[in-house]
């Protein structure tokens, strides 16, 4: 069980609320920056859906199967069973969203993991704020739901961490060696790489039998190597 010490009594609640305002700024900046590169809608919707999936999964499993307290002093009803159910639900949601978004699954799975873990700690942090201020709800805008801040505490934390992660990782070009480049899945990956050339770089392509189709792909993406899978023959740029 996570213990919360006496440090909370020495922290001014107004200062903690200002931290939440700063987190809101990071969230807006994250959405704005990546909207410019056509990734904002995908990332922002993934953050919302994964966060909601986490909340639903944690609630359903926690209320039915929860036995081990997670942080009794801050939120007595939260359990470790509900916590891990929320993490799994968020990751699965990120993976599932890769299909309708036609986007590589791994970045969205990573975003799902961030939302599943960080979002729940963000919810706990907001609970600490309310206990610090000795109030039950953070506002009256959404009665019965803990207030407006309760609906967006996890979103703000998730968007902030996603901002730092994807500003570092996302600024790097991801190099891809594509197996089965002439198939339907390979074609979908090539389309995504064509949409985001600053994010993804095809460095090698492979085909089991339709070798001739590799030549236009190599020319289009400036591929350095092509591999004929049935012979495992590696050909240099001069061969292409």
Q: Tell me what pLDDT residue 79 has.
A: 93
Q: Tell me what pLDDT residue 56 has.
A: 92
Cα 192 to Cα 102: distance, rounded to the nearest angstrom: 7
As averages over each run of 10 residues, the pLDDT of the chain (240 residues) reads 45 45 52 55 89 92 91 85 96 94 86 93 80 67 56 81 74 78 85 83 82 85 66 47
Cα 45 to Cα 160: distance, rounded to the nearest angstrom: 15
Q: What are phi and psi of 47, to 5 degrees?
A: -60, -45
Q: What share of the chain is helix, strand, coil (3-state, %, to 5)?
A: 65, 10, 25
Q: Tell me what pLDDT residue 172 has.
A: 64
Q: Tell me what pLDDT residue 16 has.
A: 46
């Amino acid at each position: 069980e996570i213990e919360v010490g006496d440090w909370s009594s020495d922290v001014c609640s107004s200062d903690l609320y200002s931290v939440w305002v700063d987190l809101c700024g990071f969230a807006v900046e994250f959405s704005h920056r990546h909207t410019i590169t056509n990734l904002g809608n995908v990332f922002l919707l993934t953050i919302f859906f994964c966060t909601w999936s986490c909340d639903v999964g944690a609630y359903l499993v926690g209320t039915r199967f929860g036995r081990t307290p997670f942080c009794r002093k801050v939120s007595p009803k939260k359990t470790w069973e509900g916590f891990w159910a929320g993490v799994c639900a968020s990751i699965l949601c990120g993976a599932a969203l890769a299909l309708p978004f036609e986007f590589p699954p791994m970045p969205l799975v990573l975003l799902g993991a961030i939302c599943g873990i960080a979002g729940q700690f963000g919810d706990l942090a907001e609970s600490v704020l309310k206990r610090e201020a000795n109030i039950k709800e953070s506002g009256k805008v959404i009665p019965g739901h803990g207030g407006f801040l309760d609906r967006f505490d996890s979103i703000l934390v998730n968007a902030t961490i996603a901002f730092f992660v994807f500003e570092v990782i996302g600024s790097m070009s991801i190099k891809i060696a594509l197996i089965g480049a002439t198939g339907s899945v390979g074609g979908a990956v090539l389309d995504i790489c064509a949409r985001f050339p600053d994010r993804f770089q095809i460095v090698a392509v492979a085909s089991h039998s339709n070798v001739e189709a590799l030549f236009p792909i190599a020319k289009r993406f400036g591929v350095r190597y092509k591999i004929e899978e049935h012979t495992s023959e590696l050909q240099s740029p001069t061969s292409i």
